[in-house]
């Protein structure tokens, strides 16, 4: 069973990658809205028929709720390790994303200066300068790259927007620093097609992309929660560590979260 976040500010929760994380959901509370339809997404599918009806939470409301929560956490001496933008889809789709990042930095500095601001994004909105500039300001700019070939990108991520792997990689090159790549490795069958981004061929092409991008580090992980596609396999820790070692051999940092 997949699930949706039912509030704008949620948690804090314990994150495999971020520690104690206070979450911010910039998407509608009642449905998923994303530029990808990843086969493993815990939030389920984006329903294309609902896209014209999407209403984003107002930036002023987001600011009020975030400040209220941070003030409360400061009072209780329970400040988070991270303030993370995730939620019911792709956070950079919010039309006021840049403004939201700016006031989040101000509120973090005021109430919880040791907390890192993290954005988990699928990198599809990097054609917008305001999104790129906002992401350059955060502490942890965590961008998705699940495939090294166009075919596998289509099988795993099912882009709703008109974008190619080549365009994604080209847009990612705008970050000459402060870039973290996140990759979920998965095997299974979807719509009668075999899916596997752990093969030698796929990993080799993915590594070529990483060499081109030179990220600060690479986060590697498997499926951890229920997915909308049945029969997907959780890749073993041994296999993920082997892939991480290949990343290290090309001179990049790699971390496995299992």
Token duo for residue 110: 């005021």
> What mean pLDDT do residues 94-102 have?
98
Place of tokens 């500039």: 133
pLDDT at 227: 84
Share of the chain above pLDDT 70, in %: 97
**What's the helix, strand, coil split of the chain in %, to 5?**
35, 20, 40
d(CA 5, CA 95): 20
Q: What is the pLDDT of residues 186-226, one digit of tens each?
A: 999 888 889 999 999 999 999 999 999 999 999 999 998 87
Q: What is the DSSP code (8-state) at residue 158?
A: -
Q: What is the pLDDT of residues 162-196, one digit of tens each?
A: 999 999 999 999 999 999 999 999 999 888 889 99
pLDDT at 51: 64
d(CA 155, CA 44): 16
Q: What is the DSSP code (8-state) at residue 89?
A: B
Provide the CATH topology of domain 9-181: TIM Barrel (3.20.20)
Q: Is the dihedral of CA 59, 160, 33, 194 positive or negative?
A: negative
Q: What is the pLDDT of residues 123-160, one digit of tens each?
A: 999 999 999 999 999 999 999 999 999 999 999 999 99
Domain ranges of the chain: 9-181
d(CA 171, CA 163): 11
Average pLDDT over the chain, rounded to an integer: 93
Q: Are 104 and 66 in contact (CB under 8 A)?
A: yes
Per DSSP (E only), the strands in 67-210 are 82-86, 116-121, 140-144, 180-184, 186-190, 193-196
d(CA 82, CA 86): 12
φ and ψ at residue 170, rounded to 5 degrees: -60, -45
Token duo for residue 89: 């889809």
Token duo for residue 134: 């906002």
- Give residue 244's pLDDT band: very low, low, confident or very high (50, 70, 90): very high
Q: Which of 6, 45, 2, 41 is nearest to 23 (CA)?
A: 6
């Amino acid at each position: 069973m997949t699930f949706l976040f039912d509030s704008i500010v949620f948690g804090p929760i314990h994150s495999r990658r971020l520690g104690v994380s206070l979450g911010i959901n910039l998407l509608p509370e009642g449905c998923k809205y994303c530029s990808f339809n990843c086969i493993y997404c815990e939030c389920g599918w984006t329903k294309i028929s609902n896209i014209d009806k999407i209403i984003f939470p107002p930036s002023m409301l987001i600011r009020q709720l975030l400040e209220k929560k941070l003030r409360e956490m400061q009072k209780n001496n329970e400040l988070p390790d991270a303030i993370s933008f995730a939620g019911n889809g792709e956070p950079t789709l919010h039309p006021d994303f840049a403004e939201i990042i700016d006031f989040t930095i101000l509120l973090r500095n005021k109430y919880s200066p040791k907390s890192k601001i993290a954005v988990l994004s699928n990198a599809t909105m990097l054609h917008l300068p305001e999104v790129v500039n906002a992401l350059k300001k955060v502490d942890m700019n965590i961008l998705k790259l699940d495939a090294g070939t166009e075919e596998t990108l289509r099988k795993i991520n099912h882009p709703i927007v008109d974008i190619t792997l080549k365009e994604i990689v080209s847009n990612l090159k705008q970050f000459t620093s402060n870039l973290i790549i996140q990759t979920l490795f998965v095997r299974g069958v979807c719509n009668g097609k075999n899916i596997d981004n752990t093969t030698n061929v796929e990993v080799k092409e993915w590594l070529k992309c990483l060499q081109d991008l030179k990220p600060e580090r690479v986060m590697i992980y498997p499926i951890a929660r229920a997915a909308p596609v049945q029969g997907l396999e959780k890749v073993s820790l041994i296999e993920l560590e082997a892939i991480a070692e290949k990343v290290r051999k090309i001179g990049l940092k790699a971390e496995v979260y299992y």
